Structure 1
Amino acid sequence: MKLLLTHGYFLRLDEKQWSLQEPYPPLATLYAASELKREGFEVIIQDPMFEKSTDFLNHAIIQNRPELVIIYDDVFNYLTKMCTTVMRNAVFDMIEIAKMNKLICVIAGSDASDHPDMYLKQGADFIIKGEGEKTVSELVRAIAERKENWKAIPGICFMEGDRMIKTESRPVMKELDKLGLPDWDSIDLKPYVQAWKKKSGYLSLNISTTRGCPFHCNWCAKPIYGNRYHVHSPEYTLNQINKLQKVFGAEHFWITDDIFGLKPGWTSRFAELVSESGARFRYKIQSRADLLCKEGTVKELAGSGCETVWIGAESGSQKILDAMDKGIRVEQIYEANKLLRKHGIRPAFFLQFGYPGEDMNDINLTIKMLEELMPEDIGISISYPLPGTVFHDKVKEELSNKANWTDSDDLDLMFQNTYPAEFYKNLQRYIHRRYRSRQALRYIGKALKKPFRIKAPELLSMCKAPAYIAGSIYYKRKLLRNTRDSNISFKESDES
């Protein structure tokens, strides 16, 4: 049976992400391709990452004449997990194209798992809920053999007359090494290489070493892997890295795990393998502050090539961290930042504003933390309630007008909070520019002391310093118009 496998993330449809030019291949789609090929199916991958519209799918169908279309989103990518409406509508268009060509259409992804009824209403034949590799293989086998015993297949949704049927959930895989490596050879990496080389001078690719997260932050959606935590072995991971270096020339890796290296002994074994093999590469991860307060762990990360750690700091207010059920202390963020810098790893912070109950004092505590620690990079979001979370349950009655962002730069506060939605958008832009201006001034100081040690990104930041400072002043004025409370930003003396 010939299958056309694709996904629903179009980089051009998200202006912010298109401008960044840091695209990553659809990792989950490549895992699905690998499993389907191991089952003996002929799989053709069509990657729409750089396409301008969904028209590509009709051309691919005409050219390849598949019997089945599978739209399998990359559930490892946080941008796909955001479930933006621009990408949802693109998938709806792709479903229509598949049905126009009289093909069975299967959908897998975070948004489809949350809203299977929406996708079935658009004409999809089957929705895969949760972890998909085994489910999609079993479903395609049943379709190929014309065994219409759909109710016996765990982890799917489909229509029976006017009624949606949800079969029992499929248990998540525990032994991840039984999966084959992602089918990297079936995708054209040239546009990814070109984008990365032009923007950054090197190729970065994405891998996953774990699935799931056992922590219980009440705003974090986990529609695919839930609170279980299962891992690939360090050996499997290094084998994949070696292949991607040898075949494609990758120098840097984004390890997409929600939490990297949580299993006891994993980071030490990985560091040992890297040292023994003589491999040289850099990578970035996501982790928690409390897990980075052990110097031995941080030392192992540094020894295995870790360049950047993105910490889910979220807030400098203990009150807000507790309200989020984050399970960390503000002091741990400070300690993690210190240890990472000590061992030459770049700390980066995810920050979140607009969580219910946050007031100006909480905002200022976060700004204070940011000023004092000055991580190497930041990502700022506005609280975004996604289905299946405690946070969503608290505010879902207020989401009747809008329940999803349009794209990654939407940042709309979709529920009633302390300040109006426009305030939080301006706050995000203000803090970004204020942080960037302080960072640029720090680089200028470095250049005056050690001019020959300035790197290209630092030089670019220095050149943008006047724009950053002007932007921070502009957005501060907008904030002051949003509210009469002037205690919303950095000290006035810092603006000069």
Structure 2
Amino acid sequence: MLRIFVGSVYFLRLDPVRWAEHQPFPPLGTLYAAGTLQAAGHEVHFFDAMIADSVAEWSARVAEVRPDIAVLYDDNFNYLSKMCLSAMRLAALDMIAAAKSAGAKVAICSADAADHPDLYLDAGASAVIVGEGEATLAELTAAWRAGVDDLSAIKGLAWRRAGDTMRNPKREVLRDLDALPTPAWELVDMAAYRQIWHRHHGFFALNLVTSRGCPYACNWCAKPIWGQGYAVRGARPVAEELARLVRLAAPDYIWFMDDIMGLKPRWWGEFADAIEELGVKVPFKCLSRADLVLRDGAVDDLRRAGCDVVWLGAESGSQKILDAMDKDLSTGEIAAATARLKAAGIRVGHFLQFGYPGEGMAEIGQTLAMLRTTRPDEIGISVSYPLPGTVFHDRVRNQLREKRHWDVSSDMAMLYRGPYTTAFYRHLHTYVHRDFRLRRTLAHLRDVLAGRTAKGGHLRALAFVAYCGIAIPLSWARLHLLRLMPHPVTARRAAP
């Protein structure tokens, strides 16, 4: 039996805006890896970077645990891990150094390591897991336990032999997700998570997943783990896992972390039936697509299952931009899905993406018009981010700047020569949020005047409206000035 120290590599404290939100979720992908190693009979210890103070905490735990093997396993269900933030990369490299100096073999599984294995092998990792990791990790640790140094028979690995980087054949993705060992939930410090959530939000949220991968071909979306394939868990097993989690930790809220929930027709209906039978309805949020939401009965099934919020990848209010992204979705479907969800009492979030090639002020205006017409309850804004391995990245490769990664998830820096400058998009982020809040505030005031909602905070709301009456026109004028700014001279490209 090996002593294995498994750690996640996303430090919430290194991402200031996300840390200020105080919405930590346990690293589910890492917990699946830990569960796999437990099922293989290993002694497994767990390091949770999500709530850790710093890499120094990892180093101290390494000295305490003295593992035979250290596994850095990114939570590949967390969209932030796909962004390969430079702060997290540096943290991972420091974690590798600490484990190696303690005499442990080191394996790493992450989107960034999959894209740049040599970077991590140079830092001291003995193996980089490329693709879906559980089966590869089980075979790798078994080989090391047996004293095998030749890893060429293990699919899904990058490793070194005589100084040369070996890239083994890809591993097929798992099809039967229900056959996987359950996540090692018992290793999570639930009290710490509960304390953060209750202190800042008054409730406690946890996370689950119902599927892996995504079959759609949006050309800006990186798929370093599951590629174009996808697999879906059975609705009943997901409901049963939720029931176990309720017994273990009593969450008040669930985030289903799927890239796209509801891929399989009738899945939501089967899940709602299982939830009702087991009596474990817990409010949840999820990410899906407008066309899936518009399937017959889908919204009613979501409501029955306890859905509170559906986030839609709206991206743009311009059909031209959606088509350029290979989104295979229409602005009409986005509007119809939003309306249908809201009519059922389910809140709607829109993810928006600015800065895609071909987007000008007219297309930005169409996105603003979409927001004003559909009136989602929440919005999330980013700029187009060229992720390695995507069609979009290949298209703009020659325009990439010296800076190749955001430092933190709120960076909003343009990494390529987009339609406008970084300064423009950072101010656009502010403008869109301010305009969104203004229109939501005006709707609230109309409800107060009509007697549809109780008075409360209306004086503050009036003050905000008055402020926006001055600030928004000035902000719009500033946007038009910023769009005239020349792009900075492209500097020499840095290493990836």
Alignment check: 8 A CA contact 2:25 2:206 kept: yes
3-state secondary structure, aligned to 1:152? coil
Tell me if the contact between 1:434 and 1:469 (Cα under 8 Å) persists in the aligned partners: no
SS of the residue corresponding to residue 151 of structure 1 reads coil
Answering whether residue 490 of structure 2 is matched by residue 479 of structure 1, we say: no
CA contact (8 A) 1:446 1:454 kept: no
Contact 2:68 2:103 in 1 (8 A): no
CA distance in 2, matches of 1:448, 1:244: 44
Supply the RMSD in Å over aligned alpha carbons: 2.1
- The residue identity in structure 2 corresponding to 1:391 is F
Q: After alignment, is 50-59 or 347-356 more displaced? A: 50-59
Q: Contact 2:445 / 2:461 at 8 angstroms: preserved in 1?
A: no
The 3 A distance-change label for structure 1 pair 452 and 316 is closer
Within 1, Cα distance between the matches of 2:194 and 2:25? 10
Superposed, 1:450-461 pairs within 5 Å as 450=451
The residue aligned with 1:225 is: 226
Work out whether residues 440 and 465 of structure 1, in 8 Å CA contact, stay in contact via their aligned partners in 2. Answer: yes
TM-superposition CA deviations, 1:84-106 (whole Å, max 9, x none): 10111110111111122222111
Q: Deviations over 1:179-208 (max 9, x none)?
A: 122111011122211121122211111111
Are the structure 2 counterparts of residues 103 and 455 from structure 1 closer, same or farther at C-alpha, using a change threshold of 3 Å?
farther
Distance 1:127 1:50 in 2: 25
Structure 1 Cα separation of the partners of residues 466 and 409 of structure 2: 26
Cα deviation 1:158-196 (Å, max 9, x = unaligned): 112332111111101000000122111011122211121
In the TM superposition, what is the alpha-carbon distance from 1:222 to its structure 2 partner? 0.6
Report deviation, 1:333: 0.8
Which residue of structure 1 lines up, in the alignment, with residue 397 of structure 2?
396
Question: Any idea what SS the aligned residue of 2:388 has?
Answer: coil
Aligned partner letter, 1:84: L
Partner-residue secondary structure (3-state), 1:49: helix
Change (3 A) 1:54 1:461: farther
Query: Residues 229 and 444 of structure 1: is their aligned pair in 2 closer, same or farther, counting only changes over 3 Å?
Result: same
- Corresponding residue for 1:202? 203
Alignment of 1:129 with 2:134, yes or no, is: no
Q: Are 1:210 and 1:230, in contact at CA under 8 Å, matched by a contact in 2?
A: yes
Note the C-alpha offset of 1:451: 7.5
- Equivalent-residue separation in structure 2 for 1:304 and 1:420 (angstroms): 44
Find the aligned partners of 1:279 and 1:454 in 2 and give their Cα distance.
35
Secondary structure of 1:23's partner? coil
Letter of the 2:361 counterpart? M
**Pairs aligned (count):** 484
Whole-angstrom CA distance in 2 between matches of 1:90 and 1:406: 12
Change (3 A) 1:138 1:276: same
Match of 2:490 in 1: none
TM-score by length of 2: 0.93
Secondary structure class of the residue paired with 2:4: strand
Deviation at 1:370, TM superposition (A): 0.6
In 1, the alpha carbon distance for the partners of 2:31 and 2:351 equals 28
| Mapping for residues 248-263 of structure 1, pairs under 5 Å | 248-263=249-264
Could you tell me which runs of 5 or more consecutive residues in structure 2 were left unpaired when the two chains were aligned. 486-496
Q: Secondary structure at the match of 2:338?
A: helix
Alignment of 1:484-495 (within 5 A): none
Q: How far did 1:448 drift? A: 4.0
Taking the TM superposition and a 5 Å limit, the aligned residue runs for 1:305-316 are: 305-316=306-317
Maintained 8 Å contact 2:262/2:292? no
**Which digits, 9 at most, give the CA deviation of each residue in 1:128-172, with x for residues without a partner?**
001001111110111011022300011111112332111111101
1:173 alignment partner in structure 2:
174
Match of 2:53, SS state, is: coil
| TM-score of the superposed pair, with normalisation by structure 1 | 0.93
Measured in 2, the distance between the counterparts of 1:479 and 1:460 equals 27
Unaligned stretches of 5+ residues in structure 1: 486-496
Q: Which aligned pairs between 1:331-480 and structure 2 lie closer than 5 A?
A: 331-450=332-451, 472=472, 475-480=475-480
Match of 1:11 in 2: 12
The yes-or-no answer on 1:328 pairing with 2:329 is: yes
In the TM superposition, what are the counterparts of 1:244-323 in structure 2 within 5 Å? 244-323=245-324
* Higher mean displacement: 91-100 or 395-404: 395-404
1:295–1:339 Cα contact (<8 Å) kept: no
CA distance in 1, matches of 2:307, 2:149: 49
CA-to-aligned-CA distance 1:44-84 (integer Å, 9 cap, x gap):
00112222321112210121121111110100000111111
Task: Show CA shifts across 1:25-45 (max 9, x none).
Answer: 000010001110000000000
The CA distance in 2 between the partners of 1:461 and 1:118, in whole Å, is 51
Contact 1:22 1:196 survives alignment (8 Å): yes
Query: Could you tell me how far 1:478 is from its partner in structure 2?
Result: 3.2
Task: Look up the equivalent residue of 2:316 and give its one-letter code.
Answer: S
Residues 33, 43 of structure 1: 8 Å contact kept: yes
Within-5 A mapping of 1:65-80:
65-80=66-81
Letter in 2 for 1:267: W
Contact 1:431 1:472 in 2 (8 A): no
Q: In the TM superposition, what whole-angstrom CA distance separates every residue of 1:446-468 from its partner, at most 9, and x where no partner exists?
A: 33444865799x99988866676
Q: How does 1:48-127 map to 2 (within 5 A)?
A: 48-127=49-128
User: Aligned to 2:309, what secondary structure does the other structure show?
Assistant: strand
Instruction: State the distance in 2 between where 1:90 and 1:329 align.
Output: 40
Distance of aligned partners of 1:469 and 1:222 in 2 relative to their CA distance in 1, 3 Å threshold: farther
